[in-house]
Amino acid sequence: MRARIYPLALGKIIKHALEDLEMEVAGLLIGKYLKKSDILEIWDAITGDQKATPGFVYLEEDTIAAAAEWVLRNRPGLYIVGWYHSHPGFSIFLSAIDIETQKLYQRMFPKAVALVVDPMRYAETRRLQDLKFSVFRIDKKGKVVRVAVTIGIQRRKLLESTLRGVETMDLRYIGGRRAPRREGVFEPGSYGVDRLADSLSSILKKFRDRVGQQSRE
Ligand SMILES: [Zn+2]
């Protein structure tokens, strides 16, 4: 599988990552999977309430649930196809906890990807070659693999993804407060993978129920 990201989606992710060079930031990728060509398209990015440390970030359950509902209602034909987060100044990889998180996203959507961006160099130079980001997946053996990613240039989709994406430029915090919640900053390790798994699996259930309802309608 390859990935294709449209410019506004990438721009929104970079903008978000540049907003905080001390804490990680995270959000969700919206797009679709093209079965014929085995390409995952990323059309848009949204975010919401999250808890962050310099080395870990967690999107709140309510945020993901609200985003999933919002996408179902407002973006017909598009889905949450993964998540993004920043590693300010500590390069591009999936940490042990990122791997667990990614497995949950792949359980929710089998083609889901994790986009990781390190905005630090780019923040200093604003040179495109200093913009470091990669897209990852977990393969069947449980190993992290990089997904080749290109920038979408197809004219119609470029325009369509831009038109949809600008609608959420100011509504980036779907279903929550507009500013990242800072008083909830917590220590690494105080939020276990188990609890994360629990909350994501309950979202997964809600999400499936909604999709089930929609397909019956
Ligand atoms: Zn990470």
Question: For residue 184, what pLDDT is reported?
Answer: 36
CATH for the stretch 2-216:
3.40.140.10
DSSP 8-state code for residue 38: T
What's the gap in Å between 35 CA and the centre of ligand 1? 28
Q: For 98-125, what is each residue's pLDDT tens digit?
A: 999 999 999 989 999 999 999 999 999 9
Using DSSP's 3-state secondary structure scheme, residue 153 falls into coil
Residue 145 is inside which H or E element, if any?
Answer: strand 144-147
Distance (angstroms) between ligand 1 centre and the Cα of 6 equals: 22
What residues have CB less than 8 Å from 29, skipping those under 6 apart? 9, 42, 44, 45, 80, 81, 82, 83, 84, 113, 115
For residue 182, what pLDDT is reported? 41
68 alpha carbon – ligand 1 mean position (Å): 22
Low-confidence ranges of the chain (pLDDT < 70): 170-217
Distance 117 CA to ligand 1 centre (A): 9
Distance 154 CA to ligand 1 centre (A): 31
Query: What is the model's pTM?
Result: 0.82
Q: Using the mean position of ligand 1's atoms as its centre, give its distance from the Cα of residue 176 in Å.
A: 23
Q: How far is the CA of 58 from the centre of ligand 1 (A)?
A: 10
CA of 87 to the centre of ligand 1 (A): 6
